[in-house]
């Protein structure tokens, strides 16, 4: 606390990102990164633009927007890009929800949303997930400020079928419904297909997960042109160049290398199935996941104890000290080798 801080700064409770431990030979399964490297085409394309780094990047990232537009069958005016989807989310909160009352969001969900609510003076109403940790669409009808949820949800991994996302859109024609699709490429059906029919739909995605580019910070939003124009106004009042030259070039290549994208997503899904099966055999309850992580709880040992013991063996997973999910661990899908190590340590711990 400092006397120089504004009243707002004093009141902030910032988001705490998952740990990036500096331990050698770590099995890192705590922040949902992709276990596979980015496409070789991404690295080659980025190398080719290094000579231009003395020049500012394109402030509008037009080539990247066009690539994404072509990929999804949209127009360039329907695409917004930012420095990671966290930034895109922040700008969406500023553009559509700032100062409003009654933004509806699930009680168990991405823990950055409450931080943005505080930053942009949005009054949130948290709606409990049902006993299966799923969203009940009817709970989100008739929102005043808007609706936000990840699909698949995080940290549960559970998907809301597209028909139910559409029910929420239909029931909220006068406010924005933001669907955060950070994990959609690992098995879910994207709401992008609904953009033409719903002027209130904003879909947010990221290249951090399914395209293995968490370290480059590239996020995007897709929606009808008027929504996107609102985001551009906010962005151009804050930072004209959120995506650097390397990020723009690499992101284009990531969308162009469709085969690599498909094959790595398929491997992640295959590993998720393996992980779910082996955790279940060890007595874990594993929620049905369509993401690149699973959410699991053990019947005999607390999540806190398991996480601490895993860590002593160089395996890190994520625990959220929050009511209802206090006994769950979020475990990112890893390589086969990482997952085998995890299961080996768990076996020793649970069946000594």
Which residues contact ligand PMP by CB under 6 A? Answer: 84-86, 110, 150, 154, 180, 182, 206, 208, 214, 219
| Nearer CB in complex with ligand PMP: 318/341 | 318
| Nearer CB in complex with ligand PMP: 67/151 | 151
Cα separation, 45 vs 253, in Å, equals 7
At its nearest, how many Å lie between ligand PMP and the CB of residue 84? 3
At its nearest, how many Å lie between ligand PMP and the CB of residue 21? 17
| Burial class of residue 284, CB neighbours in 10 A (0-12, 13-18, 19+) | buried
At its nearest, how many Å lie between ligand PMP and the CB of residue 54? 27
| Nearer CB in complex with ligand PMP: 110/140 | 110
At its nearest, how many Å lie between ligand PMP and the CB of residue 180? 5
Cα separation, 122 vs 134, in Å, equals 24
136-156 b/e with 16+ CB inside 10 Å = b? ebebbeebebbbbbbbbbbbb
DSSP conformational letter for 97: I
Q: Within 13 Å and on the Cβ side, how many CA atoms surround 147?
A: 30
| Nearer CB in complex with ligand PMP: 188/219 | 219
At its nearest, how many Å lie between ligand PMP and the CB of residue 10? 26
At its nearest, how many Å lie between ligand PMP and the CB of residue 6? 25
| Nearer CB in complex with ligand PMP: 149/284 | 149
| Nearer CB in complex with ligand PMP: 85/345 | 85
Alpha helices by DSSP H, listed for the chain, are 7-11, 40-48, 62-72, 84-92, 113-119, 162-170, 225-235, 245-256, 258-281, 303-312, 336-350
| Nearer CB in complex with ligand PMP: 57/82 | 82
Alpha helices by DSSP H, listed for 73-112, are 84-92
At its nearest, how many Å lie between ligand PMP and the CB of residue 281? 27
Cα separation, 195 vs 10, in Å, equals 39
Please provide the DSSP assignment of 143-158 as one string.
Answer: -SSEEEEESS-TTT-P
Please provide the DSSP assignment of 190-234 as one string.
Answer: -GGGGGGG-TTEEEEEESSSTTS-TTT--EEEEE-HHHHHHHHHH
Pick from 164, 102, 163: nearest CA to 130: 164
| Nearer CB in complex with ligand PMP: 84/188 | 84
DSSP conformational letter for 129: P
At its nearest, how many Å lie between ligand PMP and the CB of residue 316? 15
């Amino acid at each position: 606390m400092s006397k120089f801080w504004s009243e707002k700064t004093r009141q902030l409770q910032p988001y705490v990102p998952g740990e990036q431990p500096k331990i050698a030979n770590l099995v890192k399964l705590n922040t949902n990164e992709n276990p596979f490297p980015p496409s070789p085409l991404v690295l080659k394309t980025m190398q080719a633009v290094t000579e231009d780094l003395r020049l500012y990047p394109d402030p509008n990232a037009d080539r990247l927007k066009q690539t994404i537009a072509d990929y999804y069958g949209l127009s360039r005016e329907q695409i917004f890009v930012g420095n990671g989807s966290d930034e895109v989310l922040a700008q969406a909160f500023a553009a559509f929800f700032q100062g409003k009352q009654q933004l509806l969001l699930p009680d168990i969900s991405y823990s950055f949303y409450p931080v943005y609510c505080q930053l942009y003076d949005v009054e949130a109403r948290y709606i409990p997930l049902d006993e299966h940790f799923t969203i009940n669409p009817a709970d989100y009808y008739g929102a005043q400020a808007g609706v936000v949820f990840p699909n698949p949800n995080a940290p549960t991994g559970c998907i809301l079928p597209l028909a139910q996302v559409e029910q929420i859109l239909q029931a909220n024609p006068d406010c924005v419904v933001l669907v955060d699709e950070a994990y959609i490429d690992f098995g879910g059906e994207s709401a992008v297909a609904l953009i033409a029919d719903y002027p209130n739909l904003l879909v947010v995605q990221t290249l951090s997960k399914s395209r293995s580019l968490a370290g480059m910070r590239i996020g995007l939003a897709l929606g009808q042109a008027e929504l996107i124009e609102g985001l551009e106004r906010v962005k151009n009042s804050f930072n004209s160049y959120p995506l650097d030259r390397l990020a723009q070039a690499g992101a284009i290549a990531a969308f162009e290398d469709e085969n690599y994208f498909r094959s790595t997503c398929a491997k992640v899904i295959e590993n998720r199935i393996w992980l779910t099966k082996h955790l279940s055999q060890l007595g874990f309850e594993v929620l049905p996941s369509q993401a690149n992580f699973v959410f699991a709880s053990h019947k005999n040992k607390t999540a806190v104890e398991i996480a601490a013991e895993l860590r002593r063996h160089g395996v890190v997973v994520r625990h959220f000290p929050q009511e209802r999910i206090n006994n769950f661990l979020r475990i990112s899908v890893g390589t086969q080798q990482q997952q085998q190590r995890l299961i080996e340590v768990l076996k020793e711990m649970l069946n000594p």
